[in-house]
Structure 1
Amino acid sequence: MKTTLDEMQLFVSVVDLGSISAAAEQLELTVSAASRTLTRLEHKLDTTLLNRTTRRLTLTDEGASFLEQARSILDSVNAAEEQMAARKHAPAGRLRVDAATPFMLHAIVPLIPGFRERYPDIELELNSNEGIIDLIEHRTDVALRIGALKDSTLHARKLATSRVRVLASPAYLAKHGAPRTTAQLLNAERHVLLGFSKPESLNEWPLRHPDGEPVQIQPHILSPNGETLRHLALSGQGIVCLSDFMTREDRASGALVQLFARQTLEVRQTIHAVYYRNTALASRIACFVDYLAEVFREKPFSG
């Protein structure tokens, strides 16, 4: 499009106010600049829009036709801007959120009623992927990621931290006994260890050998899904190391018991909201991230 919105706005203002000088004052332009803009518009359209005399301006037939179209275009732009402004006050539209299954189930799903009550016009689409996904490929607006971030093309906001602990069910401990040392823990004849098939870094537990080296376990039962490991631990199938965000209620109810409470190192996983960098963050993303940060701050995962 050759014609600009500024040129259209000037033309409409000149017609409405009856003079170039009045339009220039309203639009905070010099009279000469306004006159040049009007001349440039007529040159682009290759037609005369206004007949100018020393006393008044009158629309040509072409000018009257263009005026109707210009008003319609400017009205549409104003309506679109007003709609965008309204969304900032009452965010709306579909919001696609991705998180690993355990975090989705234990941290996000319980917050949905409160979020929906506050933002009823946002349509949520909740997806779970256990690994890191491409946000654009999966049409994801915001993802919740736990641990270190590597993708520098993403904007990240820290929301919370969650401590990791070694846990077992009372039923398991009644049958196998509670390990008192790392040597007992790692004795395959005495204890069953539940761990991650990927990433293997999650199989480094927050304990140390007597020589000071970190404890890297060799799991007897593996899964890439922390929720699967949690259920195995709850059913008495072994000892597990999981993050507080998925075991808070289990520990509070006694369904899972922490082992090595005094020897456990202070290891916390960082939880981020990530989304692609852009110049203006969509209000529906901003309000969701703000809501999570607010709730996690008021009710942290780890004590």
Structure 2
Amino acid sequence: MKSTLDEMKALVAVVDTGSVRGASEVLSVTPAAVSRTISRLEVKLETTLLSRTTRKLSVTSEGSIYLKKVRKILEEVELAEEQLIIRKDRPSGLLRINTATPFILHGIAPCISRYQALYPDVEIELTTNEENIDLVGKHTDIAIRIGQLKDSTLRAVFIGNSRIRIVASPDYLKEFGTPSSIEELSNHRLLGFSKPEILKNWPLIGENDKIFRATSNLRADNGEVIRHLALGGAGIACLSDFMTYQDRKSGSLVELFKESSLKIEQPIHAIYYRNSATSLRISSFIDFIKRNLNVDKNEFM
């Protein structure tokens, strides 16, 4: 065999990240080392695998044929390595998880110690990001996202749904009153998201039978910030159940328009990037988080 596994991995990394620099970050080597590896591989195979210009990198027709076979080879090697771990019946290794700050705080942090007690050989690294990220470029194994997913080559596992509700603190309602209609909302302080746009839609039917779109003079791009503003009496907010379940249970936040609100739910997915079958540590965490969130029962631990 002319090619080495390292050379195959370098080729796949360049194609998946779209650049030599991106591949160097994934492989933790210098861009020059990646370029030399690809050049060495092309010399061995006596063919051009990648077409390079100053602005674009693309796979040649010969490279596409070779890449397809290489992916299968790497998948088999990875699967063989995974089987060794499975034989031990214990997930191990580094698991890097990324999600929005509110989900880290309310979804993962409360139960992560139980996962570690079950799987002590798994090392966990948690990072936060409020928007979609490049899993490959950011060295992330699992990203948990709330809301509709965009078209993607990533694999996704549905965790469940989380309903959005309109809430306010008792102190705010005592000072400014409780709105009983959409029209009355215009006289209240509404807390809103600066982005994405869809989060400005509240689960109420407004004029012309359209979804009510909140106009806010106090906005944030982080749901946890909005939650704390609501708890502090700064205004009325529309937030997902996974953030407010405990607050509503304790009475720190009160649900408004309980009878007239639409049942709008945000899907929760765990997304991951793998060339092969899901690794044991990834699948064990996804299974664990599905059991412990109990999203279908609106119970968030």
Fold match, TM over 0.5?
yes
Q: Which residue of 2 aligns with 1:232?
A: 229
Instruction: Tell me if 1:148 matches 2:145.
Output: no
Instruction: Tell me if 1:103 matches 2:100.
Output: no
Query: Displacement, 1:87?
Result: 6.3
Instruction: Tell me if 1:280 matches 2:264.
Output: no
Query: Displacement, 1:81?
Result: 5.2
Q: Which residue of 2 aligns with 1:175?
A: 175
Q: Deviations over 1:157-203 (max 9, x none)?
A: 1011100000000000000000111010123xxx1000000102101
Distance 1:202-1:288 versus aligned 2 partners, 3 A rule: same
Q: Deviations over 1:6-57 (max 9, x none)?
A: xxxxxxxxxxxxxxxxxxxxxxxxxxxxxxxxxxxxxxxxxxxxxxxxxxxx
Query: Displacement, 1:259?
Result: 0.5
Q: Which residue of 2 aligns with 1:216?
A: 213
* Distance (Å, rounded) in 1 between the aligned partners of 2:209 and 2:83: 61
Query: Displacement, 1:299?
Result: 7.3
Instruction: Tell me if 1:84 matches 2:81.
Output: no
State percent identity of aligned pairs: 50
Q: Which residue of 2 aligns with 1:294?
A: 291
Query: Displacement, 1:91?
Result: 0.6
Q: Which amino acid aligns with 2:115?
A: F
Q: Which residue of 1 aligns with 2:116?
A: 116
Query: Displacement, 1:155?
Result: 0.5
Q: Which amino acid aligns with 2:97?
A: V
Match 1:195 to one of 184, 192, 197: 192
Q: Which residue of 1 aligns with 2:52?
A: none
Distance 1:246-1:255 versus aligned 2 partners, 3 A rule: same
Preserved CA contact (<8 Å) 2:162 2:295:
no
Preserved CA contact (<8 Å) 1:162 1:268:
yes
Secondary structure of 1:266's match?
coil
Query: Displacement, 1:294?
Result: 1.7
Secondary structure of 1:247's match?
helix
- Please report the TM-score for the alignment, with normalisation by the length of structure 2: 0.70
Q: Which amino acid aligns with 1:246?
A: M
* Distance (Å, rounded) in 1 between the aligned partners of 2:200 and 2:256: 16
Runs of at least 4 residues off by over 3 Å:
80-83, 85-88, 297-300
Q: Which residue of 1 aligns with 2:246?
A: 249
Preserved CA contact (<8 Å) 1:97 1:124:
yes
* Distance (Å, rounded) in 2 between the aligned partners of 1:134 and 1:84: 29
* Distance (Å, rounded) in 2 between the aligned partners of 1:133 and 1:149: 12
Preserved CA contact (<8 Å) 2:171 2:233:
yes
Preserved CA contact (<8 Å) 1:160 1:300:
no
Distance 1:298-1:229 versus aligned 2 partners, 3 A rule: closer
Query: Could you list the runs of 5+ residues in structure 2 that have no partner in the other structure?
Result: 3-76
Preserved CA contact (<8 Å) 2:161 2:295:
no
Query: Displacement, 1:152?
Result: 2.2
Query: Displacement, 1:278?
Result: 2.6
Query: Displacement, 1:298?
Result: 7.8
Preserved CA contact (<8 Å) 2:293 2:299:
no
Q: Deviations over 1:53-93 (max 9, x none)?
A: xxxxxxxxxxxxxxxxxxxxxxxx9xx85972446611101
Q: Deviations over 1:99-155 (max 9, x none)?
A: 100011000101111101110100000000011110011100000001111132010
Distance 1:152-1:87 versus aligned 2 partners, 3 A rule: farther
Preserved CA contact (<8 Å) 1:193 1:240:
yes
Instruction: Tell me if 1:205 matches 2:208.
Output: no
Preserved CA contact (<8 Å) 1:205 1:216:
yes
Across the aligned residues of Structure 1 and Structure 2, the Cα RMSD in angstroms comes to 2.1
Preserved CA contact (<8 Å) 2:168 2:230:
yes
* Distance (Å, rounded) in 2 between the aligned partners of 1:278 and 1:252: 43
Preserved CA contact (<8 Å) 2:161 2:296:
no
Query: Displacement, 1:281?
Result: 1.2
* Distance (Å, rounded) in 2 between the aligned partners of 1:145 and 1:88: 31
* Distance (Å, rounded) in 2 between the aligned partners of 1:110 and 1:280: 29
Preserved CA contact (<8 Å) 1:170 1:256:
yes
Preserved CA contact (<8 Å) 2:157 2:271:
yes
